[in-house]
A = this chain, B = another copy of it.
Amino acid sequence: MGQEFGGPLDFATVLHRMRPDLQRVEDRLLEETALEFPLIGDILRTLILAGGKRLRPLLLLLAAKPFRYDLDRLVPAAAGIELLHTASLIHDDSLDGASVRRGQPTLNALFDPSVVIMVGDYMFARSAMLAASTMNPRVLAVFAHCLGSICDGQLRELFAARRTDVSLDDYQHRIYGKTASLFAGSAEIGAILAEAPDDQIELLRDFGGAMGMAFQIVDDVLDFRATENEIGKPAGQDLRQGTVTLPILLFFQNGKATSEERAFVEQVIAEGAPDDDALARALQLIRTSGALEEALDYARRYVEDAKALLAGLPPTEGRDMLAAVADHALARRL
């Protein structure tokens, strides 16, 4: 266990200390690809290895750390959560279609979309089986709830496309489902499997949820800030697809733009940009309106809320690590 009064940690240190435990999750994920069906196994391996920083498994493990930290129980659940995330990302990408494919070589460029959809299906079902292998009904219930939330959030996003009458409440509801719910569920499952007291399970779920909200808001800001090279996909994707995210919402509301400028961006969202110049102009209007900074303030407040919750946990190394992970939500390539 840890330094009782540890100072602030940085994310790289957390990753370094957790590397052996995360490696076990990685090994468990790769076990999923060692199948008697070589066709699926090969494709699955490519899809899984293309994955990111394993933030959700990390969160699940760290939520368990202040309590009964038993890797044998935690690893299958962490692998299940990551597999669900990867599957959902893959299907999301293949549905996004052309604009994503214009970016760096994505999986859609490597495989026929049908192949990606089918292997994604396999991953969805396997993820649920991994969660089920904990044989813990409460874990299964949380997993089921996450699954419903993600699907609900993604449907909301689909139905919200090209609509400009999106409220802050709609936006928060949608990104909670699409993104924050799985962060919340990861922390909750870690705490349940570590036999944390009920109030601390709830606290860790709320921590994960708040951190997940910050994570998605930063993602939505990055879509305006980054160049294609930085985030590996073309900038302005949300605007191009007509999805109103927090920066766009704040652009409409903060009173910095003229009514002609607002009308112009509204039209790009509702009807699509007639050409690349129009898209670039809309992006530039939003970038210079102060909306990105205001959106980041929202993300910062979520991270502060998340970290404030940690005061209710035992003062352990795990707690310090959770704080570092929450801070990381803000630090990503900004």
Q: A91-B118, A112-B158, A117-B95 are in contact. Are A126 and B152 (CB under 8 A)?
A: no
- Chain B proximity of A77: nearest CB distance (Å): 13
The answer to whether the Cβ of A155 comes within 8 Å of any Cβ in the partner chain is yes
Q: Which residue of B lies closest to A96 (CB)?
A: B114
Q: Contacts of A143 on B, CB cut-off 8 Å?
A: 129
What total of chain A residues lie within 8 Å of the partner, measured CB to CB? 44
Q: Contacts of A121 on B, CB cut-off 8 Å?
A: 87-88, 91, 120-121, 124, 151
CB atoms of A114 and B158 under 8 A apart: yes
Interface SS of chain A: helix, strand, loop or mixed? helix
Which one of A95, A133, A135 has the greatest number of beta carbons of chain B within 10 Å? A95
The answer to whether the Cβ of A144 comes within 8 Å of any Cβ in the partner chain is yes
Q: Which 3 A-B pairs have the closest CB atoms?
A: A132-B132, A128-B128, A37-B152
The answer to whether the Cβ of A115 comes within 8 Å of any Cβ in the partner chain is yes
Assuming A95-B117, A117-B117, A129-B132, what are 17 further A-B pairs, CB within 8 angstroms?
A37-B149, A39-B159, A40-B152, A40-B155, A95-B118, A114-B158, A115-B155, A118-B151, A118-B154, A118-B155, A118-B158, A122-B151, A126-B128, A126-B144, A126-B147, A128-B128, A129-B140
Scoring A residues 66 to 99 as 1 if CB is less than 8 Å from chain B, else 0, what string do you get?
0000000000000000001001100100010000
A interface list, Cβ under 8 A from B: 35-37, 39-40, 43, 84, 87-88, 91, 95, 112-115, 117-122, 124-129, 131-133, 135, 140, 143-144, 147-149, 151-152, 154-156, 158-159
CB atoms of B125 and A155 under 8 A apart: no
A144 to B129, CA, bound (A): 8
CB atoms of A128 and B122 under 8 A apart: no
Q: Which residue of B lies closest to A87 (CB)?
A: B121
Q: Which residue of B lies closest to A113 (CB)?
A: B95
CB < 8 Å neighbour of A148 from B40, B147, B155 = B40
Q: Contacts of A84 on B, CB cut-off 8 Å?
A: 125
CB atoms of A115 and B158 under 8 A apart: yes
CB atoms of A148 and B36 under 8 A apart: yes
CB < 8 Å neighbour of A124 from B114, B115, B125 = B125
- Chain B proximity of A157: nearest CB distance (Å): 10
Q: Contacts of A113 on B, CB cut-off 8 Å?
A: 95
